[in-house]
Structures are given as structure tokens and as C-alpha cells.
């Protein structure tokens, strides 16, 4: 009875008022985690789904959506599914055909190459410490345009640039955009700025003398701004830092000025699509949820006609699917543009990226039985499985095929989710494989202390090279690791103790709480 009362209180806390008959019995331990989950969800559950940037949707909203499925599985309260539907409807409504290839999806500029050199002004020009390297002054020799140590609080680095109004003429700083910029997509211009006195600072993208887009700064405190710019291929662009009116007294400050293309990323499409696919499967397998069938069908159509074919049939992205031999395969980077670096070390993507998409395909296959989905998903699983290395009684693996750096604890969550999905479907990953992965956690990564456990940054037990264990907060991102408790209860004990006196604050913590609730 006490457990049910605590659960009811938690539901009120989260703003959900479902009929009592909708709730499954919740034991006392589950109630404790439900209370913690509900408190955090009420703070952050609504913060991500209306921002269509694909990085935000993938690394924030997808965790929120999947946590709703977890909590529904424990409580039977369909109010959590209603939240999922509300969020998903908005996420799909915000999908666009940015590149004109006929397929809807999402995009971001967060990871694409920055087409400006020295955007943070950290490096000075040889022989002139006041002038940022790669930038050129306009109508000044250093008296009015120079590097400053006044920097925004949220930017890594120790330098900005200051432009002082003077001599009753323009004082500016500018740089020509790299010729390697990718045409055919929009770009995002972004940066920090502030002003003093009556001046107004501007970051302006120009094509010759024509203004393409700009950012204006009218406050005396550092402010971050961004805007989307149309940049057709084959043009010569430049970015200018200046005043809006040189006759107004004061200074304009700028920092972290960047220009990057907005691109789709298969890992983001996979992360965003996965909770939709899991919802589709849940409704497909649960007759009592027939009222959600229409929504599930619409989400399935969206994934099967927009997201999945996008990565093989898009005229803009190109065919990214690459089969290897008889049993392996993976999705690679687009052959048509660079989304991470103009000097990519390999066309291969890090393991977590194709694996997330394989997970999506595997879940969809359980509904549509499409053999092509199963074939691609299984090939990716074999590709990743064959690159796991035995170390003692555990598995270790690299972040990608092109580096010796080991996979890190956070990205490994995506790997493990896919491994677990295949194992649960009786495919590719055996019980012995899962035991070795569990041993990765307990024999390689765990510090050895039960009451106050810490976990290494990398799967081989290596810590971050410059961050001590007790300051490396990545080791709270444990939502897939905790599911290895199915192969050793100690895993759950360690994660429980990790969260016992911890104040969670973000979506990665939220989904870990929901997994602790689900496994209680």
C-alpha cells in the first residue's frame, strides 16, 4: 500500500493524473525511483522536443521519449504514452527537406567543419600579438581593433576581439570563408557578442558587398546568437565583425565566431527514430493499446518512407550503405560532402553510429518483417561483433575502425543497446558475449568500491588523460550499462549506489533513472 501511495504522489508531481485502474502495482523500491524520475521529468521533460536541431533531438529528446516507454512498462499508465505522442508529433512536424532531396529529416551544424580559421581568436598573427591570426583589419593598424582577454563565461579559451569606434570611419575585422564550404545546404552563422556605450556589434556574412545574413548585439553582457544563412555553391563569401553605425561611441566585442554547414547525421536520425520504432512495436504487440494504432501507423510510415530510405536513396546524401563480404556491412559517411572534417581519416563512421541505425532497423523489422531491414541490421551487428577483442574475461573495442582510442563509457551506451536488442532476438550476440560485455563493466571499468563506485572513461579501464575519476561526470551516463544486470545483479547494485546520493539534472540521467525503475 505504501508503495502505491508513493507512486501516486510521484504521478501528481509529474502532472499526470491517470485513473488508478491504469496503474500497475508498483513496489516500494520502484516507487523510490519513480519519485526521483518524476521530479526530474517535471523539470526537464518539456525542454527539448520543440527545438528541431538534430543534435538536441538525438542527445536530449530521444532519451526523454525512451524514458516514457520505460515508465509506462512499469506503471501501465498511458499518460506517459500520451506525452510521447505529443512530443513525437511535434518532432515529426519539425522535420524538413533542407537539402531538397525529397526526404524529410533533421539536421545540425554542431559537428560540421567550421569554415573559418581561428574562430576563437586564440592564435595571434606572427609579429603582432594584438591581431588574431587569419583575420584582417579594415581601416586600422591595431589602435581600434585588437585581441582582448574579456571572454564569455561559457566559452573555452582566453581571447576575444574588441573593435572600438573611432576616427569617424569604419573599423572592422574580416576573413574570407574557406573555399571548401559545402554548397547545396544552409549554413549556420553563430557567435558571442556584446557592446558598450551606444555601439551595436554585428557579425555579417557577405557575398561581395551583399549582406547574406547577420547577427546583432545590443546588450552589455555576453550573448550567444545564431542564424541560418543560404549559401549556394561556387560563391566567395566573407565574415565581417563591425559596428552597425561607426558614428556611435563605444566598443563591440566578439568571440567564438563560427560558420558551419547544416547536415543530416545518420546517428541522429537513428536516435530520434528509435523511440518511435519502439512505440510502434509496443502498440503492434499490445492489443490493449489499440487506441494508439493510428498514431503508430503514421510514425511507421514516416520512418519507412522518409528516414530509412534517406540513407540509401537520397540524391543529396548519396548511397551510404556498404556491404562487406557475405555477412558484414555498415553505413558510411556521405560520398557527397564532409560532415565532420574536410580531412576525414576514413569513410567509416564510429561504431555507435551505424549500430544505432541497425537497432532502429531491427526494431522496425519486428513489425514489418522486411528482409532488407533484417539483412542490413544483422550485417552491421556482425561487423561490430567481429571487431570486439577479448581481454581477460571481458570485451574491449575501439571508438572507430580508424583509431586506437578505445570506446568511451557514454558512446558505448548506443553500442550496448544494439547488442542487447540482437541478443534478445536470439541473433548475433550470444549469452557468452553478453557476459564478456558485463565483465567489461565490472572487471575493466569499475573502480572496485561498492558504496561509492566510479567508472573509467574508456572500456579498457583507462581514465580520461586529464580528468580524475571523481571529476569525470561522464560515469553517470549508465542507462544501457545497467541493463547488463540481467547477466549479473551486481551491475544494478553499482549503478544504484552511484545514483543514491546524486542529484540528476539532464536527459541522460533521466533515462538512467527510468532504467533503474524498470529493473527494480
Cβ neighbourhood burial of 291 (10 Å; 0-12, 13-18, 19+): exposed
The verdict on 144 and 252 lying in the same domain is: yes
Question: What is the C-alpha to C-alpha distance for residues 256 and 118, in angstroms, rounded to an integer?
Answer: 9
* 184-203 tens-digit pLDDT: 789 999 999 999 999 999 99
pLDDT at 14: 38
Task: Give the helix/strand (H/E) hosting 12.
Answer: helix 2-13
Residue 166 is assigned to a structural domain of this protein: yes
Residue 287 is assigned to a structural domain of this protein: no
For position 197, which CATH number holds? 2.60.120.260
Residue 239 is assigned to a structural domain of this protein: yes
Contacts of 237 (CB under 8 A, 6+ apart): 176, 177, 181, 205, 206, 207, 212, 231
Question: Which of the listed residues 206, 235, 261 is the one where a domain comes to its end?
Answer: 261
The verdict on 28 and 133 lying in the same domain is: no
Parts of the chain with a pLDDT under 70? 1-24, 469-470
Question: Which residue has 554547414 as its cell numbers?
Answer: 261
The verdict on 406 and 510 lying in the same domain is: yes
Task: Give the helix/strand (H/E) hosting 227.
Answer: strand 223-230
Residue 129 is assigned to a structural domain of this protein: yes
Radius of gyration (Cα) for the chain, nearest Å? 25
The verdict on 160 and 255 lying in the same domain is: yes
Decide if 7 contacts 30 (C-beta within 8 A).
yes
pLDDT at 23: 56
Strand ranges inside 339-388, DSSP E: none
Residue 78 is assigned to a structural domain of this protein: no
Number of domains within the chain? 3
Question: Which of the listed residues 261, 279, 310 is the one where a domain comes to its end?
Answer: 261
Residue 513 is assigned to a structural domain of this protein: yes
Question: Which of the listed residues 261, 295, 325 is the one where a domain comes to its end?
Answer: 261
Decide if 482 contacts 466 (C-beta within 8 A).
no
Range of the domain at 434: 387-412+420-520
DSSP notation for 250-273: SEEEEEEEEEEE-B--HHHHHHHH
| DSSP-based three-state secondary structure for 237 | strand
Question: What is the C-alpha to C-alpha distance for residues 32 and 25, in angstroms, rounded to an integer?
Answer: 14
* 477-488 tens-digit pLDDT: 999 999 999 999
Residue 86 is assigned to a structural domain of this protein: no
Quote the DSSP letter at residue 344: -
pLDDT at 321: 97
The verdict on 165 and 255 lying in the same domain is: yes
DSSP notation for 53-113: -HHHIIIIIHHHHHHHHHHHHHH--THHHHHHHHHHHHHHHT-B-TTSSS--B--BSSSSP
pLDDT at 8: 39
Residue 191 is assigned to a structural domain of this protein: yes
The verdict on 241 and 130 lying in the same domain is: yes
Amino acid at each position: 500500500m505504501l508503495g502505491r501511495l508513493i507512486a501516486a504522489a510521484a504521478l501528481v508531481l509529474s502532472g499526470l493524473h491517470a485513473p488508478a485502474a491504469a496503474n500497475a502495482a508498483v513496489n516500494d523500491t520502484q516507487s523510490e525511483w519513480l519519485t526521483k524520475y518524476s521530479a526530474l521529468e517535471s523539470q526537464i521533460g518539456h525542454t527539448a522536443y520543440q527545438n528541431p536541431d538534430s543534435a538536441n533531438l538525438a542527445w536530449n529528446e530521444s532519451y526523454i521519449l525512451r524514458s516514457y516507454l520505460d515508465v509506462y512498462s512499469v506503471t501501465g499508465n498511458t499518460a506517459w504514452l500520451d506525452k510521447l505522442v505529443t512530443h513525437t508529433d511535434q518532432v515529426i512536424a519539425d522535420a524538413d527537406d533542407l537539402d531538397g532531396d525529397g526526404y524529410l529529416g533533421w539536421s545540425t551544424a554542431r559537428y560540421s567543419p567550421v569554415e573559418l580559421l581561428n574562430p576563437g581568436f586564440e592564435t595571434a598573427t606572427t609579429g603582432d600579438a594584438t591581431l588574431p591570426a587569419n583575420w584582417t583589419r579594415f581601416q586600422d593598424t591595431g589602435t581600434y581593433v585588437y585581441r582582448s582577454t574579456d571572454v564569455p563565461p561559457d566559452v573555452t579559451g582566453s581571447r576575444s576581439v574588441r573593435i572600438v569606434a573611432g576616427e569617424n570611419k569604419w573599423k572592422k575585422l574580416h576573413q574570407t570563408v574557406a573555399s571548401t564550404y559545402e554548397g547545396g545546404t544552409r549554413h549556420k552563422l553563430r557567435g558571442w557578442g556584446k557592446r558598450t556605450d551606444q555601439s551595436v556589434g554585428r557579425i555579417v556574412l557577405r557575398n561581395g558587398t551583399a549582406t547574406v545574413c547577420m547577427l546583432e548585439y545590443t546588450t552589455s553582457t555576453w550573448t550567444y546568437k545564431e542564424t541560418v544563412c543560404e549559401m549556394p555553391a561556387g560563391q566567395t563569401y566573407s565574415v565581417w565583425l563591425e559596428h552597425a553605425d561607426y558614428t556611435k561611441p563605444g566598443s563591440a566585442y566578439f568571440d567564438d565566431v563560427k560558420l558551419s554547414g547544416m547536415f543530416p547525421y545518420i546517428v541522429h536520425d537513428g536516435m530520434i527514430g528509435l523511440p518511435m520504432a519502439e512505440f510502434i512495436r509496443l502498440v503492434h504487440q499490445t492489443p490493449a493499446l489499440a487506441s494508439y494504432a493510428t498514431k503508430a501507423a503514421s510514425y511507421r510510415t514516416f520512418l519507412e518512407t522518409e528516414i530509412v530510405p534517406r540513407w540509401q536513396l537520397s540524391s543529396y546524401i548519396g548511397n551510404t550503405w556498404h556491404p562487406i563480404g557475405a555477412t558484414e556491412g555498415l553505413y558510411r559517411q556521405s560520398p557527397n560532402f564532409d560532415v565532420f572534417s574536410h580531412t576525414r581519416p576514413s569513410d567509416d563512421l564510429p561504431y555507435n553510429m551505424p549500430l544505432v541505425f541497425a537497432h532502429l532497423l531491427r526494431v522496425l523489422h519486428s513489425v514489418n518483417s522486411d528482409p532488407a531491414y533484417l539483412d542490413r541490421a544483422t550485417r552491421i551487428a556482425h561487423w561490430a561483433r567481429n571487431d570486439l577483442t577479448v581481454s581477460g574475461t571481458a570485451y574491449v573495442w575501439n571508438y572507430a575502425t580508424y583509431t586506437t582510442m578505445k570506446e568511451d563509457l557514454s558512446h558505448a551506451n548506443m553500442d550496448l543497446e544494439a547488442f542487447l536488442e540482437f541478443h534478445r532476438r536470439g541473433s548475433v550476440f550470444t549469452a557468452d558475449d553478453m557476459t564478456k560485455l558485463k565483465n567489461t563493466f565490472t572487471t575493466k571499468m569499475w573502480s572496485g568500491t561498492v558504496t561509492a563506485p566510479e567508472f573509467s572513461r574508456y572500456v579498457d579501464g583507462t581514465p580520461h588523460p586529464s580528468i580524475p575519476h571523481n571529476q569525470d561526470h561522464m560515469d553517470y551516463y549508465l542507462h544501457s550499462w545497467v541493463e547488463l544486470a540481467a547477466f549479473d545483479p551486481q551491475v544494478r547494485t553499482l549503478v544504484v549506489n552511484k545514483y543514491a546520493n546524486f542529484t540528476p539534472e539532464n536527459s541522460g540521467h533521466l533515462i538512467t533513472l527510468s532504467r533503474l525503475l524498470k529493473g527494480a
